[in-house]
Amino acid sequence: MRLLAVGDSFTYGEELTDRSVSWPCLLADRLGYELTNLALPAKGNDYMVRTVIENAIEYDLIVVAWSHFARLEFADEHGIYDIWPGNAGNLFTNELSYRKDILNYINRHHDDQYSYSRYLINIILLQNYFKQNNKKYIMLTSFNQNYTGDLAHVKLREKLSHLVDKVDQQYYIGWPNETMQEWTYRTPQGPGGHFLEQGHQRVADKIYEHIRHLGWVS
């Protein structure tokens, strides 16, 4: 049996001294599955959709750990890259001045409602893809996705309720209010804010228990 994991730095295992204790590795070991982890730091949700479509048919279980909804993907002659409104670091611009110009523009003029609707549509599209191809899948969220305590974003979800209501909660752990951040609260973190070994164990346990309740493991 084969497991595919797709996500950003929290799924990649950023800041771990040994990535073999990242939650995808722990989950695969517990399930007895062969793992392919295609998560990459700083990647957004367009990358995840593309990666799943290109690879999922070969796997028995796919786990998609969505990134922040506002990360946007662009491409130029130097390759594909993501930018994130509010983050001006070189992680997204790779020292290329025109990429910084794009980021500065998006910082001033991005529309959260549009970005959040794109994120919801990506979820719905992938869920339908999995159903049509009879694939077992689990979805979850890395961090700060749904702004549970932020009234503005609660209202945003209400405006987009026609999309929010189409998300199949049975296969999306914690939807819409929990992320890996809540599950790993008060566990040790690295300087960059990524949870470490204890947090990865908690995430793996959370996913495994959900899978067990679905009846996919004994």
* pLDDT grade for 112, boundaries at 50, 70 and 90: confident
Rg (CA), the chain: 17
- Taking the C-alpha atoms of residue 168 and residue 128, their distance in angstroms, rounded to an integer, is 10
Q: Give the three-class secondary structure for 162.
A: helix
- Could you give the domains of the chain? 2-70+110-213 (3.40.50.1110)
> Mean pLDDT, the chain, as a whole number?
91
- Taking the C-alpha atoms of residue 4 and residue 6, their distance in angstroms, rounded to an integer, is 7
Whose CA is closest to 70, among 89, 101, 45, 40? 45
DSSP 58-74: G-SEEEEEE--TT-EEE
Question: Which pLDDT score, from 0 to 100, does residue 156 have?
Answer: 82
* 62 neighbors 130 (Cβ within 8 angstroms): yes
Q: Specify the pTM.
A: 0.93
Has residue 97 got a pLDDT over 90? no
Question: Which pLDDT score, from 0 to 100, does residue 150 have?
Answer: 61
pLDDT digits (tens, 9 = 90+) for 37-69: 999 998 999 999 999 999 999 999 999 999 998
Question: Which pLDDT score, from 0 to 100, does residue 90 have?
Answer: 64
pLDDT digits (tens, 9 = 90+) for 146-194: 554 466 667 888 899 999 999 999 999 999 888 999 999 999 999 999 9
* Residue found by looking up tokens 């040790």 in the block: 188
Has residue 213 got a pLDDT over 60? yes
* 36 neighbors 4 (Cβ within 8 angstroms): yes
Q: Which amino acid is at 179?
A: T
* pLDDT grade for 218, boundaries at 50, 70 and 90: confident
Percent of the chain with pLDDT over 90: 71
